[in-house]
Amino acid sequence: MERFGWLFSEKTGISPVFSFEVWYFGNVVRDCLEQARVWLLKSELSVKEVGNRCGFQDTSYFIRVFYRHFGETPSAFQSPNAGVFTK
């Protein structure tokens, strides 16, 4: 396994762990945040409940990740768009 890590790093310039994190945050979290937008717009769920459904146990962390991805907090996103779904 150590040899795999060395070869992976040698060929790609990054570690296998970093590569997985990039993939995970680039795909899994993005898909979850897109679903969070739908729940925030189309449901009566609180920000905490939406974060929990997305797998975030820490609401503050969910809010930070959402803000980084969309440029506004879940509450700000939810308020003016309540009941309206836009892309």
Sign of CA dihedral 13, 28, 54, 48: positive
CA–CA separation, 70 and 66 (whole Å) = 6
Using one digit for the tens of pLDDT, what is the confidence trace for 34-86? 999 999 999 889 999 999 999 899 999 999 999 988 999 999 998 765 545 54
Sign of CA dihedral 29, 54, 41, 46: negative
Q: What is the homologous superfamily of the domain 2-81 according to CATH?
A: Homeodomain-like (1.10.10.60)
pLDDT at residue 79 in the model: 79
CA–CA separation, 38 and 1 (whole Å) = 41
| pLDDT band at 5; cut points 50, 70, 90 | low
CA–CA separation, 46 and 19 (whole Å) = 33
Predicted TM-score of the model (pTM): 0.65
